[in-house]
Each structure stands twice: as structure tokens, then as C-alpha cells.
Amino acid sequence: MPTSNPTSTPTSSQIAAVAERSMGRYGRGADSVLQHLIACQQAFSFVPAETLDQLVQAIDVTRAQLVAAVDFYAFLHLTPRGAYDILFSDNITDRMLGNRRLLQQLCGLLGVEPDQPRADGRVTVGLTSCTGMCDQAPALLVNGYAVTRLDADRIRHIAALVDTRVPLPHWPQEFFAVSNNVHRPGLLLAELEVRDAGLNALFERGGGAVLAEIERAGLRGRGGAGFTTALKWRFCREADNPDKVIVCNADEGEPGTFKDRVLLTSYADLVVEGMTLCAGITKARNGFIYLRGEYRYLVEHLEAVLQRRREQGLLGQGLLVKGGRGHNGFAFDIQIHLGAGAYICGEESALIESLEGKRGVTRKRPPFPVTEGYLDRPTVVNNVETFLAAARIAEHGGYWFRSEGTDQSAGSKILSVSGDCARAGVYEVPFGTNVAEVLADCGAVQTQAVQVSGAAGATLGVDEFQRVLAFEDLPTAGSFMVFDRSRDMLDMVRNFADFFVHESCGFCTPCRVGGKLLRDLVEKVAAGRASRHDLDEMRHIADVMRRASHCGLGHTAPNHVLNTLDKFPEVYRSRLVSADYSPAFDLDAALSEARALTGRDDVGAHLADAQTTAVDA
């Protein structure tokens, strides 16, 4: 349920009250900084300077560190954003459904320019990266809460609500409805009943036996990298430091991915059970669910699940299971840590940095998180789907899980399907399923391309639809975006290029600068001013980014460009000018302001015309 609107001009007493409540909830450790900043942002639509002063005095952190954190996270600001802060999701699938047209409509109705607070401080309208609502897009966030299924009528209604100052809790609740859209449940999603049978197995058979079942199952991480789950848990179990931590990575930021949202909505007990199993195996006492800021609306639901499990003796001190059987000395509890709009925090070391209250910049490895992670403690970081699968395996056994999949990719994969298809939503398929079968299931026709595993994944043409979803062929975090023959694939490339520039953490030059250069060249192609030289330059920049970037974001950011250059070359060739080289900078256009100031618009005031005249003379 959305909360009340922020105060646009907070008083000192209001700022102090918010800070005091936040510190009472999250404590005064340096690792709580991000949560304090988010609390202030939610209360006031920005982080007041007075808040920074209070945090410096109360916590062992410098003002420079606080300002750097606010600057890093997209949902934090040092200046007011408006009592209603409205951000349209700008993933390519939202664009395909007309999000830019709807944004322009809302700006017109409210009398605002994008990203500029209205003079009365009431509203700001802008764009944000994918909000995880691709199956019910176009979507937006208002003060952090998702509004789905936008159309012209709903936009008019939103404008009226803002102009009449209707508090967010009094907006029509159907605006905030988020559907699961599970169209094909399988091995993991076929039943919703909560039995906690995995915990029973842990307490009856011991952590070693349950770990053996997970190893027998061949479970690999479902976040995309596919590291062997049992091996990661074993490394942490055997680490010398006894103060261990379990982290559920729910920072589902890859464009086109939304399946973790569904799992946390309807299968949260299983996810928490999987985390508790991991804690029992590794002897961890503390856990976190790192929840992406776009899923703020799920916080109340997840807190309720955690509290109910504490009351049932399934979480917290002295865990019990049905029948009263407990595990002597086993205590484990979980906190929810909210993100603030940073795609890079989906990478486990960047996520840990964020958990510690810092900018989410990736760490060099080794050391790996399983030996030195959160606050230098041994830390297991796994995806939402991985923990759910572990709970099912603990209940049913490793061989049950291996009944589906391939030799190298056991079990099933949960997909987030969106784009040009009749039934966007969640599909659970056995590993080894080919792309064509998924397209048939979701009602896709006249498909020219599929983007597997998000912006950082692989672009597939028609001749590749027999390839299979598996670690040995097409590994995926779950995103599956469909493009029919009416789409211009360069629109996708432009969207992804913008996305990677926006989401680069800025730490290393190859990613920070290379991404911008690549985007500029893509825009040069789109403007019809590029040459073959520019296409060669795109490949060169992509190669440097892949080889020299600090982390996986920079390594994979050029994938969509290289894939489309190879598989959809006509998208580029049809826009090329005939020259071998043409500049990206339009000098004549840059002189337009000088022409306006001098009142000249004759032949001599235009470079191209002046050059032509000189040649003719």
C-alpha cells in the first residue's frame, strides 16, 4: 500500500524525526547509511543537507562519502524532485508499447518538462530504467510504487489526481495492481503449499546430508553465471571465520527480467526456507534480502512473511519445525535491505559494497565473497530462484530435480517473457528447451529476433531459434524479449546503449568512456551520418571494453551491438552514407546559435554552402 506523499519543504524537526526513526530501525553502523538515505528520500523527495550533517555526527562516515552515495544511486537526490515523483519505465518493451508518447501526454497535462520539478514543487516527471513490470507495461513508478498497464485514460486520471493533490494512499488501488502472469508452471512452481519439508530434512538428517542432495541435484546459480551452488555453500561452510552471512540477491535489474518479483510475491516462504537451509548448512546467523528499489511495494509483504515465520519458530532464535523438533543452537534471522536504483548492484561484490552502505562498485577478486564478503565475513550470495530451488531439492531430493534438464544443466529455468507475444509473463521450462518452443507457448508470431538474458545477453535471429536454453548453449538469467518483423532492431540497440551508459558505475575508463563512444556511434548510424569506418570503430571499441573493463558490466555491454552487426547487418548498412569517413560532430549545426545572434543566415554563414561556393569559384 503506498504511503503518504513526501513533504516538499521539511522543517528541522521533521528532518530530525525521520533520522531518529531510521536510526532506531537500522542502527548507527556505517553499513546502514544507504537505508538512512532512502528513508529521507522517501520522506522528503530528496536528501536534505541537514540530514547529511546529522548522519556525519551520528555515524562513522564522512560527508564526502554520503554525497558520493547520493550521486551514485539513481533514486537519491540532493535537490527536491516534487511531492509526486513520477518515473516512466524506459525498457525497450515499454517503448514498444508507447511509453514515450504517454510521458509526453502527462508532461503536457501537468505543464512540466521532463526531469524539471514544477514551479509549485508538486510534481516531477522523468524516465528510469526497466522497473520489472514488462509483462504489464507500460509502467511507471510514483514515489517508488509501481503503476502498471498505462494508457491514455489512466494518464489523464493520474494528472487529475496530481493536480487535485490526492494523497497516494487514496489513488485507485487498481492502478497499483501487479499480476503474477504465471502461464507455465513446472518443477518449481507447480504447487504453492507451504510445508517447510526442507527444514524438516535439515533438522532430521543434518546439514551435510542436505548439502549432498543439492550437490547430487547439480543445482547451478540461477542469476546467470551458473556457479555450482553446493560448491559455493561448501566453501562458505569450511571458511575459518564463524561469523557467516547469507544474502538473497533480489536486485533484479536486467532489462526484461521480472520472474523474481513473482517468486517473492507468491513463493516467498520457499525463498526464505532456502536461505534458512543455507544458513543451517554453513552455520550462518545473519541474512539479508537485497531488494531492488523498484520493488519497494513488496517490503510490507516480505516483512509480514518474515515476522510470521519468526512467530512460527521458523526464523530467529531457536528455530523449530512442525512437531516441535528444533536444531540445538541454530539461530538465523533475515533483514530486508532496499536498493536505490543501481543495475550494477546485481553483481555480487557490488551488492555487498551496497550492503555495507557504500557506492556499488565491484570488488577485485580474489578474495571471493565466500571467504571475505559482507564486512569481511564469509558470505553466500545467491539468486531468488536458486534459494527456491534449494528448498524444493531438500524436500524432494537431488534425483527428483535431475528428472528434467540436461547433463550440464539440471532442472528447470524460470523465464520472464515479454515483447511481441500474445501472453507475456512467467514460463518455467526444462533446461534443454529450444527458443522456438518458448515462442510457440507465448503466442509469438512473425518473430524476427529474440533477446535472451537481457541487454547483456544474446540477440538471436530466426536461424537460431532451435538453440536451447542451457548453460552449455544459451545461459540466461531469465529475460526473454520478443521482437516481431515490424520492429526496427536499431531501436533496441539504441535503448540498450543508453542503458549501459546510464548504469555504468564510472569506475573504469573502458566502460565509462567506451560505453559513451559506442552510444554516440549508434546514434550517428541512426541519424544517417555514419560510414563503414564507424562500424569498424564500433567493433574496435567493443573489443577494448570486453578485454579491459573492470567487471562484467563492461565486458558484456557491447554484446547487443556486436550481435546485431553480425546478425542484422542491413540495419546498419541501410543507413550508411557513401563516404569512407564522416564526422560525428555537426559543426554547421553547432554554429546555429552564432547565426541567430548575428542575424545572418546567408550562404556564407553555413559551412557546407560556403565550401561549395568556394569550390565553384
**pLDDT of amino acid 617:** 47
Domain boundary among 487, 509, 535: 487
613 pLDDT above the threshold of 50 = no
Please tell me which of 369-378, 597-606, 607-616 the model is most confident about, judged by mean pLDDT.
Answer: 369-378
> Is the previous residue joined to 138 through a cis bond, with omega within 30 degrees of 0?
yes
Q: Do 274 and 344 share a structural domain?
A: yes
> What is the spatial order of strands in the sheet that 412-419 belongs to?
182-184, 425-430, 412-419, 479-484, 447-452, 458-461
**pLDDT of amino acid 582:** 61
**Residue 581 resides in a domain:** no
- Looking at residue 226, its amino acid is G
Q: Do 143 and 46 share a structural domain?
A: no
Confidence of residue 587 (pLDDT cuts 50, 70, 90): confident
**pLDDT of amino acid 405:** 97
Q: Do 471 and 419 share a structural domain?
A: yes
Confidence of residue 192 (pLDDT cuts 50, 70, 90): confident
Grid coordinates standing for 216? 547430487
**Residue 160 resides in a domain:** yes
What percent helix, strand, coil does the chain show, rounded to 5? 50, 15, 40
323 pLDDT above the threshold of 50 = no
Number of domains in the chain: 6
Q: Do 440 and 368 share a structural domain?
A: no
Q: Do 459 and 396 share a structural domain?
A: no
Domain boundary among 462, 487, 512: 487
324 pLDDT above the threshold of 70 = no
Confidence of residue 394 (pLDDT cuts 50, 70, 90): very high
H or E element at residue 563 = helix 559-567
Mean pLDDT, to the nearest integer, of 15-43?
95
- Rounded Cα–Cα distance for residues 278 and 289 (Å): 14
Q: Which of 370, 347, 368, 351 is nearest to 282 (CA)?
A: 370
Confidence of residue 295 (pLDDT cuts 50, 70, 90): very high
**pLDDT of amino acid 612:** 47
Residue 428: CATH number of its domain:
3.10.20.600
Q: Do 562 and 591 share a structural domain?
A: no
Residue 174: CATH number of its domain:
3.40.30.10
Q: Which of 167, 274, 264 is nearest to 217 (CA)?
A: 274
Per the model's pLDDT, the better-predicted residue between 55 and 224 turns out to be: 55
* CA dihedral for 117, 118, 123, 125, sign (positive or negative): negative
**Residue 341 resides in a domain:** yes
Mean pLDDT, to the nearest integer, of 450-454?
97
Domain that holds residue 598: 587-616
**pLDDT of amino acid 600:** 87
**Residue 78 resides in a domain:** no
Q: Do 320 and 456 share a structural domain?
A: no
Q: Do 269 and 311 share a structural domain?
A: yes
**pLDDT of amino acid 268:** 98
Nearest-5° angle of CA 139, CA 490, CA 345? 50
**Residue 388 resides in a domain:** yes
Per the model's pLDDT, the better-predicted residue between 585 and 427 turns out to be: 427
Domain boundary among 434, 459, 487: 487
Q: Do 381 and 277 share a structural domain?
A: yes
- Rounded Cα–Cα distance for residues 382 and 308 (Å): 23
Q: Which of 421, 395, 425 is nearest to 187 (CA)?
A: 395
**Residue 370 resides in a domain:** yes
Share of the chain above pLDDT 70, in %: 95
**pLDDT of amino acid 594:** 84
Residue 391: CATH number of its domain:
3.40.50.11540
Q: Do 126 and 138 share a structural domain?
A: yes
**Residue 422 resides in a domain:** yes
H or E element at residue 310 = helix 299-311
> Is the previous residue joined to 6 through a cis bond, with omega within 30 degrees of 0?
no
Q: Do 195 and 273 share a structural domain?
A: yes
398 pLDDT above the threshold of 60 = yes
- 10 Å Cβ neighbour count for 119? 8
Q: Do 387 and 425 share a structural domain?
A: no
Is 71 in a helix, a strand, or coil?
A: helix
65 pLDDT above the threshold of 80 = yes
* Angle, helices 99-110/152-163, rounded to nearest 10 degrees: 30
Q: Which of 531, 497, 528 is nearest to 511 (CA)?
A: 497
**Residue 438 resides in a domain:** yes
